[in-house]
Amino acid sequence: MSIDCLSVGILVADHGCAPVDHVPAAGELVLADRLELAIGGCASNTAVDLARVGVQVAVVGCVGDDVLGRFVTDTLDAAGVDTGSVRRLLGVGTSATLIVNVAGQDRRFIHTVGANGRFTAADIPIDRLRAAKVLYVGGYLLMPALDAKELADVFRQARRLGVKTVLDIVLPGPGDHWPRLAPVLPETDIFLPNADEAAAITGLADPRAQAEHFLAAGAGAAVITCGGQGTVLATRIGVRLSAGVYPTNYVGGTGAGDAFDAGYIAGLLAGHDERGCLAWGSALGASCVRSISATEGVFTRREAEAFLREQRLKIEEW
């Protein structure tokens, strides 16, 4: 069966709190309005968001044979995501993240890699790849068993099949991540890091310089998301764009980058150019931050189309 997007990568159960007024001191109890267990992880979030805007999507990744693993797959199933290629591992816990939201501050994360640490390129089914239009890998670098050369081979095979390759990353911490990234970028059509990740990898503070660095390394396009400062895009064919942000009611930033990825992919599948893809990505990103969870606030297709008719995103050449 044909699918629009094969969403590959980290599958996570998120446990987050509504924003509190400060981080607890040692031994202190701080009350939150609510705590939520929700779907998380780049591949999960992006798949759910794509399904919300009517894209046929299948997810590929690993979970444990535990209650959190069942929660992840049940939630994906309920969202209309094909989970037939999710591998369930015995004796391994499902990846999970504790998210602490403090009012007026960026999120704080405590994460366990869990089953995502066992994921390899061999887990990506070639028959599903042949049926897809876009191959998205999210959370790369947070899957230690996913070999760079093997992933590059999968990307190369996808491009030979006419499948667009889209890559996003999560940094596991400080270190030299370039050896794992460099082999994959020449086979990547669209690279989607945020500015903090790009700065840590390149040592460059300017998102435009970061984008140029990734193009020089072989990426077809680099799209650097900069939170409330908007987005910078550069392509190997000479397109250079800076986008602003849409107005929104900010509650929490969890999943906003994944929502942007989903919107950009949705625009790509709809045949939009870079400006149109930026508009779609920015719209879904703006909708995401209205909730503390990664996917709850994301627009449906009808909502996204209405929003895009009513709002105009400032996009300039640079």
* 176 confidence band (pLDDT: 50, 70, 90): very high
Interhelix angle for 301-310 vs 274-288, to 10°?
110
Going from the C-alpha of 196 to that of each of 38, 171, 199, 266, the distances in angstroms are 25, 10, 5, 25
Quote the number of domains for the chain.
Answer: 1
For residue 65, count other CB atoms closer than 10 A to its CB: 14
Q: Which residues of 27-61 are buried (b: 16+ CB within 10 A; e: fewer)?
A: eeeeeeeeeeebbbbbbbbbbbbbbbbebbbbbbb
Residue 104 has pLDDT above 90, yes or no: no
Residue 101 φ then ψ, to 5°: -100, 120
CATH no. for residue 225? 3.40.1190.20
- pLDDT reported for residue 310: 96
Sheet holding 96-100, edge to edge: 35-40, 12-17, 96-100, 108-112
Query: CB burial class (10 A; 0-12, 13-18, 19+) of residue 271?
Result: exposed
For residue 16, the enclosing domain spans: 5-25+32-317
Average pLDDT of the segment spanning 141-170? 98
Residue 1 has pLDDT above 80, yes or no: no
- pLDDT reported for residue 281: 98
* 287 confidence band (pLDDT: 50, 70, 90): very high
* 293 confidence band (pLDDT: 50, 70, 90): confident
Nearest by Cα to 300 from 314, 283, 312, 275: 283
Residue 21 has pLDDT above 80, yes or no: yes
The pTM for the full model equals 0.94
- pLDDT reported for residue 120: 98
Average pLDDT of the segment spanning 64-87? 97
- pLDDT reported for residue 250: 87
* 25 confidence band (pLDDT: 50, 70, 90): very high
Average pLDDT of the segment spanning 86-113? 93
Report the distance separating Cα 263 and Cα 279, nearest Å. 8
Q: Give me the count of residues in the chain.
A: 318
Residue 254 has pLDDT above 90, yes or no: no
